[in-house]
Amino acid sequence: MSKGRMNRNSRRIVLFALLMAPTTIGALIGITLMRLHCPSRVRILLTVNHIGFDEIQSSLGNELFRGLDTASFAISNLSTADIVTRRLTVADPRRYDPRSDTYPNTAWTPIVLSQSGVSFHGQPPPALPFLSIKPDARVGGLLTIDPINVPSQSRIAFEVAKDIGENGGRSESAGSQRPTSYPIELQVTLELQQSINVFLHGPSQIRVSDCEVRAGGAFSASNQSSTYHVDPESDSSSIRVSPGSGPFSLFFTPTAGSNFLSPGPITISHPTVVRAIPNTSPERFESALVKGAVGEIQYLDYATVPKKPIPSDELLHFDNEAVFTVVSMNISTASNGIQVTLEGDPKASYGTSVSMQHDPFQLSCFDRVKENPDLRVLFGSLAWLVATTVAAYKFIKELREG
Protein backbone atom coordinates (compact mmCIF):
# COMPACT_ATOMS: atom_id res chain seq x y z
CA MET A 1 0.00 0.00 0.00
CA SER A 2 1.46 3.38 -1.03
CA LYS A 3 2.35 6.05 1.48
CA GLY A 4 -0.13 8.49 -0.09
CA ARG A 5 -3.00 6.05 0.27
CA MET A 6 -2.12 5.44 3.90
CA ASN A 7 -2.14 9.16 4.54
CA ARG A 8 -5.56 9.47 2.92
CA ASN A 9 -6.95 6.68 5.13
CA SER A 10 -5.45 8.32 8.21
CA ARG A 11 -7.08 11.60 7.28
CA ARG A 12 -10.46 9.85 6.87
CA ILE A 13 -10.12 8.30 10.29
CA VAL A 14 -9.20 11.66 11.80
CA LEU A 15 -12.11 13.39 10.05
CA PHE A 16 -14.53 10.68 11.25
CA ALA A 17 -13.20 11.01 14.79
CA LEU A 18 -13.61 14.79 14.63
CA LEU A 19 -17.20 14.40 13.40
CA MET A 20 -17.96 11.98 16.25
CA ALA A 21 -16.12 13.99 18.90
CA PRO A 22 -19.07 16.20 19.99
CA THR A 23 -21.36 13.16 20.29
CA THR A 24 -18.74 11.12 22.13
CA ILE A 25 -17.86 13.93 24.51
CA GLY A 26 -21.57 14.68 25.12
CA ALA A 27 -22.26 11.00 25.83
CA LEU A 28 -19.36 10.76 28.29
CA ILE A 29 -20.47 13.93 30.05
CA GLY A 30 -24.09 12.70 30.14
CA ILE A 31 -23.13 9.29 31.59
CA THR A 32 -20.98 10.96 34.23
CA LEU A 33 -23.74 13.40 35.19
CA MET A 34 -26.32 10.60 35.41
CA ARG A 35 -24.13 8.80 37.97
CA LEU A 36 -23.73 11.89 40.14
CA HIS A 37 -26.56 13.07 42.39
CA CYS A 38 -27.02 16.66 43.51
CA PRO A 39 -28.93 18.20 46.44
CA SER A 40 -32.29 19.59 45.37
CA ARG A 41 -35.18 21.22 47.20
CA VAL A 42 -37.91 18.61 47.70
CA ARG A 43 -41.32 18.13 49.26
CA ILE A 44 -41.89 14.65 50.70
CA LEU A 45 -45.40 13.35 51.40
CA LEU A 46 -45.60 10.24 53.59
CA THR A 47 -48.20 8.24 55.49
CA VAL A 48 -46.46 6.55 58.41
CA ASN A 49 -47.19 4.73 61.64
CA HIS A 50 -43.96 6.05 63.17
CA ILE A 51 -41.72 9.10 62.70
CA GLY A 52 -38.95 10.40 64.94
CA PHE A 53 -36.88 13.58 64.70
CA ASP A 54 -34.84 16.14 66.62
CA GLU A 55 -36.69 19.44 66.89
CA ILE A 56 -34.44 22.42 66.17
CA GLN A 57 -36.96 25.25 66.30
CA SER A 58 -40.59 26.07 65.62
CA SER A 59 -41.99 29.35 64.37
CA LEU A 60 -43.23 29.95 67.94
CA GLY A 61 -39.98 29.27 69.78
CA ASN A 62 -39.94 25.71 71.12
CA GLU A 63 -43.70 25.17 71.05
CA LEU A 64 -44.72 21.70 69.84
CA PHE A 65 -48.48 21.81 70.53
CA ARG A 66 -50.87 24.71 71.06
CA GLY A 67 -54.40 24.41 72.48
CA LEU A 68 -54.79 20.85 71.23
CA ASP A 69 -58.34 19.44 71.41
CA THR A 70 -58.43 15.69 71.95
CA ALA A 71 -60.96 12.98 72.72
CA SER A 72 -58.62 11.38 75.27
CA PHE A 73 -55.36 11.95 77.11
CA ALA A 74 -52.91 9.62 78.84
CA ILE A 75 -49.37 9.77 80.19
CA SER A 76 -46.79 7.21 81.23
CA ASN A 77 -44.03 7.75 83.80
CA LEU A 78 -46.37 9.93 85.85
CA SER A 79 -44.97 11.92 88.75
CA THR A 80 -48.05 13.79 90.02
CA ALA A 81 -51.48 14.88 88.84
CA ASP A 82 -53.67 17.37 90.73
CA ILE A 83 -57.28 18.44 90.26
CA VAL A 84 -59.63 20.64 92.26
CA THR A 85 -62.97 18.92 92.88
CA ARG A 86 -65.38 18.02 95.68
CA ARG A 87 -67.14 15.19 93.84
CA LEU A 88 -65.20 11.96 93.35
CA THR A 89 -66.43 8.38 92.92
CA VAL A 90 -64.48 5.15 92.43
CA ALA A 91 -65.52 2.15 90.33
CA ASP A 92 -65.51 -1.47 91.41
CA PRO A 93 -63.02 -3.11 88.94
CA ARG A 94 -64.99 -6.37 89.10
CA ARG A 95 -67.95 -4.66 87.43
CA TYR A 96 -66.00 -3.48 84.37
CA ASP A 97 -67.52 -4.39 80.98
CA PRO A 98 -64.65 -4.71 78.43
CA ARG A 99 -67.06 -4.89 75.49
CA SER A 100 -68.41 -1.39 76.05
CA ASP A 101 -65.46 -0.07 78.08
CA THR A 102 -67.91 1.12 80.76
CA TYR A 103 -69.16 0.42 84.28
CA PRO A 104 -72.82 0.09 85.31
CA ASN A 105 -74.21 2.87 87.51
CA THR A 106 -74.24 0.54 90.51
CA ALA A 107 -70.46 0.00 90.26
CA TRP A 108 -69.63 3.50 91.55
CA THR A 109 -68.98 4.37 95.20
CA PRO A 110 -68.73 8.01 96.38
CA ILE A 111 -65.59 9.10 98.22
CA VAL A 112 -66.12 11.62 101.00
CA LEU A 113 -63.67 14.52 100.58
CA SER A 114 -62.81 16.74 103.53
CA GLN A 115 -61.15 19.27 101.24
CA SER A 116 -61.48 20.34 97.62
CA GLY A 117 -58.66 18.51 95.90
CA VAL A 118 -57.42 15.16 94.64
CA SER A 119 -53.78 14.23 93.90
CA PHE A 120 -52.37 11.18 92.14
CA HIS A 121 -48.71 10.33 92.85
CA GLY A 122 -46.77 7.86 90.72
CA GLN A 123 -45.00 5.14 92.67
CA PRO A 124 -41.20 4.79 92.29
CA PRO A 125 -39.55 2.16 90.03
CA PRO A 126 -39.97 -0.65 89.27
CA ALA A 127 -43.60 0.53 89.22
CA LEU A 128 -44.93 1.93 85.91
CA PRO A 129 -47.29 4.75 86.91
CA PHE A 130 -49.87 5.55 84.26
CA LEU A 131 -52.83 7.93 84.06
CA SER A 132 -55.52 8.36 81.42
CA ILE A 133 -58.44 10.82 81.12
CA LYS A 134 -61.58 10.57 79.00
CA PRO A 135 -64.70 12.71 79.02
CA ASP A 136 -67.74 10.94 80.44
CA ALA A 137 -69.25 8.86 77.63
CA ARG A 138 -72.76 10.02 78.64
CA VAL A 139 -71.77 13.65 78.19
CA GLY A 140 -69.19 13.46 75.40
CA GLY A 141 -67.06 16.39 74.44
CA LEU A 142 -63.31 16.98 74.22
CA LEU A 143 -60.36 17.72 76.45
CA THR A 144 -57.95 20.57 75.73
CA ILE A 145 -54.19 20.27 76.22
CA ASP A 146 -52.39 23.54 77.02
CA PRO A 147 -49.35 24.52 74.86
CA ILE A 148 -46.36 22.22 75.29
CA ASN A 149 -42.81 23.51 74.78
CA VAL A 150 -39.85 21.19 74.28
CA PRO A 151 -36.14 22.01 74.65
CA SER A 152 -34.16 22.58 71.47
CA GLN A 153 -32.61 19.40 69.99
CA SER A 154 -35.14 17.23 71.86
CA ARG A 155 -35.71 13.81 70.37
CA ILE A 156 -39.42 13.34 69.65
CA ALA A 157 -41.19 10.28 68.27
CA PHE A 158 -44.78 10.05 67.00
CA GLU A 159 -46.48 6.76 66.35
CA VAL A 160 -49.91 5.25 66.02
CA ALA A 161 -50.63 3.84 69.48
CA LYS A 162 -52.14 0.52 70.37
CA ASP A 163 -55.38 0.46 72.34
CA ILE A 164 -55.34 1.23 76.06
CA GLY A 165 -56.96 -1.56 78.01
CA GLU A 166 -58.60 -1.39 81.42
CA ASN A 167 -55.26 -2.16 83.11
CA GLY A 168 -53.39 0.58 81.27
CA GLY A 169 -51.76 -1.91 78.91
CA ARG A 170 -51.96 -2.24 75.13
CA SER A 171 -53.93 -4.86 73.27
CA GLU A 172 -53.81 -3.99 69.56
CA SER A 173 -50.66 -3.85 67.43
CA ALA A 174 -49.71 -0.48 65.97
CA GLY A 175 -50.76 0.04 62.40
CA SER A 176 -53.31 -2.79 62.42
CA GLN A 177 -56.49 -2.50 60.43
CA ARG A 178 -59.58 -1.04 62.03
CA PRO A 179 -62.75 0.69 60.76
CA THR A 180 -62.13 4.00 59.01
CA SER A 181 -64.50 5.75 61.46
CA TYR A 182 -62.46 4.51 64.45
CA PRO A 183 -60.58 7.38 66.16
CA ILE A 184 -56.82 7.02 65.99
CA GLU A 185 -54.76 7.52 69.12
CA LEU A 186 -51.21 8.83 68.86
CA GLN A 187 -48.30 8.11 71.15
CA VAL A 188 -45.68 10.86 71.48
CA THR A 189 -42.45 9.99 73.27
CA LEU A 190 -40.38 12.93 74.53
CA GLU A 191 -38.56 14.29 77.55
CA LEU A 192 -39.22 17.58 79.35
CA GLN A 193 -39.52 19.00 82.86
CA GLN A 194 -42.70 20.98 82.18
CA SER A 195 -46.06 20.33 83.80
CA ILE A 196 -48.97 19.88 81.41
CA ASN A 197 -52.42 21.38 81.95
CA VAL A 198 -55.36 19.36 80.63
CA PHE A 199 -58.69 21.19 80.73
CA LEU A 200 -61.81 19.17 81.57
CA HIS A 201 -64.97 20.67 80.11
CA GLY A 202 -67.28 18.39 82.05
CA PRO A 203 -67.45 15.12 84.04
CA SER A 204 -64.58 12.80 83.16
CA GLN A 205 -63.17 9.37 83.95
CA ILE A 206 -59.60 9.07 85.26
CA ARG A 207 -57.84 5.71 85.22
CA VAL A 208 -54.60 5.21 87.12
CA SER A 209 -52.23 2.36 87.79
CA ASP A 210 -49.25 2.18 90.16
CA CYS A 211 -50.32 5.42 91.80
CA GLU A 212 -51.08 6.63 95.30
CA VAL A 213 -54.23 8.71 95.59
CA ARG A 214 -54.60 11.56 98.05
CA ALA A 215 -58.27 12.37 98.49
CA GLY A 216 -59.46 14.42 101.44
CA GLY A 217 -56.07 14.40 103.17
CA ALA A 218 -55.45 10.63 103.34
CA PHE A 219 -53.25 8.46 101.11
CA SER A 220 -54.74 5.36 99.56
CA ALA A 221 -52.24 3.05 97.83
CA SER A 222 -53.38 1.66 94.49
CA ASN A 223 -51.11 -1.03 93.09
CA GLN A 224 -53.70 -2.18 90.62
CA SER A 225 -55.71 -0.20 88.12
CA SER A 226 -58.43 2.03 89.52
CA THR A 227 -61.02 4.14 87.74
CA TYR A 228 -62.41 7.36 89.17
CA HIS A 229 -65.23 9.61 88.05
CA VAL A 230 -64.49 13.26 88.70
CA ASP A 231 -66.96 16.14 88.44
CA PRO A 232 -65.04 19.43 88.07
CA GLU A 233 -66.18 22.42 90.11
CA SER A 234 -66.30 24.62 86.99
CA ASP A 235 -66.80 24.09 83.26
CA SER A 236 -63.11 24.71 82.57
CA SER A 237 -61.34 23.01 85.45
CA SER A 238 -57.91 21.61 84.66
CA ILE A 239 -55.82 18.72 85.89
CA ARG A 240 -52.13 19.57 86.25
CA VAL A 241 -49.97 16.63 85.17
CA SER A 242 -46.22 16.40 85.87
CA PRO A 243 -44.07 13.69 84.28
CA GLY A 244 -41.27 11.91 86.11
CA SER A 245 -37.61 12.26 85.18
CA GLY A 246 -36.49 10.76 81.89
CA PRO A 247 -38.50 9.98 78.74
CA PHE A 248 -42.26 9.52 78.92
CA SER A 249 -45.13 9.05 76.50
CA LEU A 250 -48.23 11.10 75.88
CA PHE A 251 -51.29 9.53 74.30
CA PHE A 252 -54.01 11.64 72.69
CA THR A 253 -56.69 11.40 70.01
CA PRO A 254 -56.59 14.45 67.73
CA THR A 255 -59.23 15.42 65.21
CA ALA A 256 -58.66 13.63 61.90
CA GLY A 257 -57.57 15.74 58.93
CA SER A 258 -56.32 18.80 60.85
CA ASN A 259 -52.70 19.69 61.63
CA PHE A 260 -52.18 18.85 65.32
CA LEU A 261 -48.76 20.49 65.66
CA SER A 262 -48.19 24.10 66.67
CA PRO A 263 -49.18 26.45 63.80
CA GLY A 264 -46.36 27.45 61.48
CA PRO A 265 -43.38 25.44 60.24
CA ILE A 266 -41.22 23.39 62.61
CA THR A 267 -37.56 22.83 61.71
CA ILE A 268 -36.24 19.32 62.41
CA SER A 269 -33.15 17.21 61.84
CA HIS A 270 -32.35 13.48 61.76
CA PRO A 271 -35.83 12.29 60.70
CA THR A 272 -36.38 8.53 60.89
CA VAL A 273 -39.26 6.62 59.33
CA VAL A 274 -38.12 3.11 60.19
CA ARG A 275 -39.00 0.89 63.16
CA ALA A 276 -36.76 -1.55 65.00
CA ILE A 277 -38.00 -5.14 64.79
CA PRO A 278 -38.29 -6.50 68.36
CA ASN A 279 -36.12 -9.38 69.53
CA THR A 280 -33.69 -9.35 66.58
CA SER A 281 -29.93 -9.75 66.96
CA PRO A 282 -28.24 -8.03 65.26
CA GLU A 283 -30.94 -5.38 65.34
CA ARG A 284 -33.05 -5.20 62.18
CA PHE A 285 -35.45 -2.56 60.95
CA GLU A 286 -38.66 -2.37 58.96
CA SER A 287 -40.34 0.44 57.06
CA ALA A 288 -42.64 2.72 59.07
CA LEU A 289 -44.61 3.64 55.94
CA VAL A 290 -48.21 2.43 56.14
CA LYS A 291 -48.70 -0.59 53.91
CA GLY A 292 -50.51 0.27 50.70
CA ALA A 293 -50.09 4.04 51.18
CA VAL A 294 -47.53 5.07 48.56
CA GLY A 295 -45.59 8.20 49.41
CA GLU A 296 -44.16 10.64 46.89
CA ILE A 297 -41.32 13.09 46.49
CA GLN A 298 -41.75 16.35 44.57
CA TYR A 299 -38.90 18.44 43.16
CA LEU A 300 -39.91 22.00 43.94
CA ASP A 301 -37.45 23.81 41.65
CA TYR A 302 -38.26 21.69 38.59
CA ALA A 303 -41.96 21.68 37.79
CA THR A 304 -41.56 19.43 34.74
CA VAL A 305 -39.77 16.65 36.63
CA PRO A 306 -42.41 14.01 37.49
CA LYS A 307 -43.13 13.13 41.10
CA LYS A 308 -41.34 10.01 42.23
CA PRO A 309 -43.33 7.39 44.18
CA ILE A 310 -41.97 5.95 47.42
CA PRO A 311 -43.16 2.34 47.86
CA SER A 312 -44.47 1.47 51.32
CA ASP A 313 -41.87 -1.29 51.82
CA GLU A 314 -38.92 1.09 51.33
CA LEU A 315 -36.58 1.86 54.22
CA LEU A 316 -36.19 5.61 53.72
CA HIS A 317 -32.85 7.21 54.64
CA PHE A 318 -31.39 10.74 54.66
CA ASP A 319 -27.89 12.10 55.21
CA ASN A 320 -26.92 12.97 58.78
CA GLU A 321 -26.88 16.71 58.07
CA ALA A 322 -30.34 16.83 56.47
CA VAL A 323 -32.63 19.54 57.85
CA PHE A 324 -36.36 19.62 57.03
CA THR A 325 -39.37 21.79 57.73
CA VAL A 326 -42.51 19.98 58.92
CA VAL A 327 -45.21 21.70 56.87
CA SER A 328 -48.06 19.65 58.35
CA MET A 329 -48.81 16.51 60.33
CA ASN A 330 -52.32 15.11 60.61
CA ILE A 331 -54.29 11.92 61.11
CA SER A 332 -55.72 9.88 58.24
CA THR A 333 -58.46 7.50 59.35
CA ALA A 334 -58.67 6.08 55.81
CA SER A 335 -55.11 4.73 55.94
CA ASN A 336 -54.88 4.47 59.75
CA GLY A 337 -51.68 6.50 59.85
CA ILE A 338 -49.99 9.87 60.26
CA GLN A 339 -49.79 12.01 57.13
CA VAL A 340 -46.57 14.04 57.13
CA THR A 341 -45.39 16.74 54.70
CA LEU A 342 -41.69 17.64 54.83
CA GLU A 343 -39.70 20.19 52.83
CA GLY A 344 -35.92 20.47 52.64
CA ASP A 345 -32.82 20.04 50.50
CA PRO A 346 -31.03 16.91 51.75
CA LYS A 347 -27.63 16.07 50.31
CA ALA A 348 -28.67 12.43 50.10
CA SER A 349 -32.05 10.69 50.18
CA TYR A 350 -32.51 7.09 49.19
CA GLY A 351 -34.52 3.99 49.91
CA THR A 352 -33.52 0.39 50.46
CA SER A 353 -35.96 -2.41 49.86
CA VAL A 354 -36.08 -5.82 51.50
CA SER A 355 -33.61 -7.04 48.84
CA MET A 356 -31.29 -4.15 49.91
CA GLN A 357 -31.52 -2.54 46.47
CA HIS A 358 -30.29 1.07 46.69
CA ASP A 359 -32.80 3.52 45.16
CA PRO A 360 -31.68 7.20 45.22
CA PHE A 361 -34.50 9.77 45.39
CA GLN A 362 -32.49 12.94 44.78
CA LEU A 363 -32.11 14.22 41.23
CA SER A 364 -29.04 13.33 39.20
CA CYS A 365 -26.81 16.14 37.95
CA PHE A 366 -27.99 15.19 34.43
CA ASP A 367 -31.61 15.94 35.46
CA ARG A 368 -30.56 19.36 36.76
CA VAL A 369 -28.72 20.17 33.51
CA LYS A 370 -31.66 18.93 31.44
CA GLU A 371 -34.14 21.09 33.36
CA ASN A 372 -31.94 24.23 33.45
CA PRO A 373 -31.69 26.16 30.11
CA ASP A 374 -28.59 28.06 31.21
CA LEU A 375 -26.73 24.87 32.14
CA ARG A 376 -27.78 23.24 28.85
CA VAL A 377 -26.23 26.10 26.90
CA LEU A 378 -23.10 26.01 29.06
CA PHE A 379 -22.46 22.28 28.62
CA GLY A 380 -23.34 22.43 24.91
CA SER A 381 -20.86 25.26 24.44
CA LEU A 382 -18.16 23.34 26.33
CA ALA A 383 -18.69 20.25 24.15
CA TRP A 384 -18.58 22.39 20.99
CA LEU A 385 -15.47 24.26 22.21
CA VAL A 386 -13.56 21.05 22.98
CA ALA A 387 -14.46 19.52 19.61
CA THR A 388 -13.56 22.62 17.56
CA THR A 389 -10.31 23.10 19.50
CA VAL A 390 -9.23 19.53 18.73
CA ALA A 391 -10.27 19.97 15.09
CA ALA A 392 -8.30 23.21 14.77
CA TYR A 393 -5.23 21.61 16.32
CA LYS A 394 -5.40 18.68 13.87
CA PHE A 395 -5.95 21.01 10.93
CA ILE A 396 -2.93 23.18 11.78
CA LYS A 397 -0.79 20.10 12.34
CA GLU A 398 -1.82 18.73 8.92
CA LEU A 399 -0.89 22.04 7.24
CA ARG A 400 2.55 22.04 8.85
CA GLU A 401 3.21 18.43 7.93
CA GLY A 402 1.94 18.97 4.39
Along the 402 residues of the chain, how does pLDDT read in single tens digits? 555 555 556 665 665 565 565 666 666 655 665 555 666 788 999 999 999 999 877 666 778 888 888 989 999 999 999 988 778 888 988 898 888 878 888 999 888 776 777 888 998 888 899 999 998 877 777 899 988 888 878 889 999 986 544 434 444 333 334 444 457 889 999 888 789 999 988 888 999 999 888 876 555 656 567 898 888 766 667 899 999 888 899 999 887 777 888 877 888 999 999 888 888 888 888 889 998 888 898 888 877 778 888 888 888 888 888 899 999 898 888 888 999 999 998 887 777 765 545 557 766 665 665 656 655 556 666 666 666 666 666 666 666 665
> What dihedral do alpha carbons 52, 176, 139, 97 form, nearest 10°?
-130
Full-model pTM: 0.75
Residue 263 has a pLDDT of: 78
Average per-residue pLDDT for the chain: 77
Domain assignments of the chain as residue spans, ordered by start: 3-36+365-401, 39-59+264-362, 61-262
From 343, 344, 354, select the one nearest 289 (Cα to Cα). Answer: 354
